[in-house]
Amino acid sequence: MVFVAGRIAAAIPVLALVLIIVFLLVRAIPGDPAVVLLGPGATREQIAALRDQLRLDLPAPQQFLEYVAALARGDFGLSLKNGEPVLREILLRLPATIELTLMAMFVAVLVGVPLGVICATRANGPLDHLLRLVSLVGVSIPAFLLALLLQLIFASYLGWLPVSGRTSALVTEAPITGFAVLDAMLRGDGAAARSALAHLVLPCAVLAAFLAATLGRYVRNSMLEILGEDFVRTARAKGMTRPRVIYVHALRNALLPAVTILGLKSAEMLGGAILTETIFAWPGIGRYMFEAIRNRDFPVIQGTTLVFALIYVMTSLAVDFIHGALDPRVRRKML
């Protein structure tokens, strides 16, 4: 309990600073929202009146306090682009991003962990080198290049997979949960579910490539560290079989840091979602944020950046808790 409370207490000042950073950043971006909103032909008076209405001319500290007070009420403001509540617009797009990132995490674990185990057990052998090189490509390739290559190969030349989007254009039903695959299954529509899955493959592969490669590298390294430790050597010397040492001792202990990495990197992955969502026309919050920056839609930039940061803070908290639950030593160390 003390541990949980302590971690949450530690997160509060961080969140306060996050709020301040977001607020200052958005104010620093050039471009007058009132000019954007009014369009061509607006007079100075109209612009001034709108600025007044949007409370843009108040002193910054007062604007900040009003902003925080509104956030506390769950009010993220209205989008300058279409006048809709920002929180609503974010929630409309959040399922798409969550669907994509969860799926990518799942794939990354499925690929990354075995990758790391294989490399560690064959350390410095040819297979290790080959797989490490492949995973190095995974962490080194720019997301936009990988997306482009996959699109060209699998959608354009081979025609195996859809080029972009979340569902076939013929699926136009209103979302139930917002998760395309789940919605199709709830409707009992197998074809739509398959189509939604097929649409997930390429963007998911782009996001998962980085995570799987990172995970594989971590699992390999921490397994090697553990395999080099005395207790493992002792176990081996005592006659424990090699597979037993590897899977029972080494892998279990190696998964602990992997959980940490998975948590932190998957939050980081949301950043990669900006590029991926834009290229694959994926209607999530990454693309929403980037378009908001282009349109100088300040409340939306503020809202999405904040959501990104919140997800990150919450993920790292969750990682701490899981870590603490798995390993009592951590609980002591972190306090």
Instruction: Give residues 170-229 in contact with another protein (rule: CB under 8 A).
Output: 170-178, 186-189, 192, 217, 221, 224-225, 227-229
Which of 144, 256, 257, 321 is in the footprint of another protein by CB under 8 A? Answer: 144
Helix axis angle, 190-227 to 251-279, nearest 10°? 140
Task: Name the minimum Å distance from CB 114 to another protein.
Answer: 19
Q: Which of residues 270-329 bind another protein (CB under 8 A)?
A: 270-272, 274-275, 278-281, 283-284, 287-291, 293-296, 301, 305, 308-309, 312-313
Please, are residues 32 and 47 in contact by the beta-carbon 8 Å criterion?
yes
Tokens of 334: 């972190």
User: Where does this chain touch another protein (CB under 8 A) — which range of 54-62, 63-71, 105-113, 161-169?
Assistant: 161-169
Selection from 112, 113, 126, 121 nearest residue 213 by Cα: 112
User: Where does this chain touch another protein (CB under 8 A) — which range of 59-67, 147-155, 252-260, 327-335?
Assistant: 147-155
Nearer to another protein, 279 or 330 (CB): 279
Which of 8, 137, 325, 334 is in the footprint of another protein by CB under 8 A? Answer: 137
Q: Strand pairing partners for 78?
A: 85
Task: Name the minimum Å distance from CB 188 to another protein.
Answer: 5
Q: Which of residues 36-65 bind another protein (CB under 8 A)?
A: 36-44, 46-47, 50
Q: Strand pairing partners for 175?
A: none
Which of 4, 8, 29, 335 is in the footprint of another protein by CB under 8 A? Answer: 29
CB proximity list for 328: less than 8 A, separation 6 or greater: none
**Count of residues in contact with another protein, rule CB under 8 A:** 120
The four Cα atoms 47, 51, 52, 58 give a dihedral, to 10 degrees, of -140
Task: Report how far residue 134's alpha carbon sits from residue 140's, in angstroms, rounded to the nearest whole number.
Answer: 10
CB proximity list for 9: less than 8 A, separation 6 or greater: none
